[in-house]
């Protein structure tokens, strides 16, 4: 009997803060648009939502920082995170691996949605445009791994199918994770090892062997 083909490992990769440098673009845009206003240096960013931290500095700054990332051209002009494009291409070429870009649009999506698609085509090519999953709720998307800089991801599914790998960003680098969770420090970190270990787990589950015994 022929051996069954291994099920591909499905990797979901977030966009802003993981592929595209949202935080650096936001700070640069804020300083350009509102020179002289107080700002939050990247090393002092805390919490996923920049609007909340700016609002704590001064209430009117919340709307000002929001206007930066809601403006036309913001998402399209973001710089790639170092090593992200190369990692995505290598990951996509790996045997028994499926890679998708899983990203959430802003609620005020006038410019955001189209620019995300254009950014992917510009930096990764049309083949990756076909692999964009645009959703406000990532918990309903089926996958084995989700690489994302948001520290807590909630939605309709209490137990998503994927393991959340926290991608280190300025706003989450101070967080201590429990031993059961994994972190990717950058695209120079051990992402290949993470995918490899998940592939082994998927193959064990498929064969019915369960977890390896120590």
Active site residues: 14, 16
Cβ count within 10 A of residue 124: 20
Name the strands in the sheet holding 145-148, side by side, starting at the edge strand that comes first in the sequence. 132-134, 97-103, 9-13, 145-148, 163-167, 182-184
Strand partners, 80: 20
Q: Tell me the two tokens of residue 105.
A: 């649009």
Strands 145-148, 132-134: parallel, antiparallel or unpaired by DSSP? unpaired
Q: Where is 121: in which H helix or E strand?
A: helix 112-124
Alpha carbon distances (Å) from 83 to 98, 107, 185, 186: 19, 29, 12, 8
> CA–CA separation, 113 vs 136, rounded Å?
12
């Amino acid at each position: 009997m022929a051996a069954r083909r291994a099920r591909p490992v499905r990797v979901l990769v977030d966009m802003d803060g993981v592929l595209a440098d949202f935080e650096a673009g936001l700070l640069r845009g804020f300083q350009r648009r509102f020179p002289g206003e107080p700002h939050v240096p990247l090393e002092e960013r805390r919490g996923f939502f920049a609007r909340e931290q700016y609002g704590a500095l001064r209430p009117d700054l919340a709307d000002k920082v929001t206007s930066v990332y809601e403006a036309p051209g913001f998402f399209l002009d973001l710089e790639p995170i170092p090593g992200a494009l190369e990692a995505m291409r290598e990951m996509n070429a790996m045997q028994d691996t499926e890679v998708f870009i899983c990203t959430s649009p802003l609620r005020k999506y006038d410019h955001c949605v189209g620019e995300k698609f254009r950014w992917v085509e510009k930096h990764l090519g049309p083949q990756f445009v076909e692999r964009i999953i645009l959703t406000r709720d990532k918990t309903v998307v089926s996958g084995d791994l989700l690489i994302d800089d948001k520290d807590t991801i909630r939605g309709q599914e209490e137990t998503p199918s994927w393991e959340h790998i926290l991608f280190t960003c300025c706003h989450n680098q101070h967080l201590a994770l429990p031993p059961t969770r994994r972190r990717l420090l950058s695209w120079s970190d051990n992402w290949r090892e993470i995918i490899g270990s998940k592939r082994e787990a998927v193959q064990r589950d498929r064969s019915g062997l369960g977890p390896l015994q120590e």
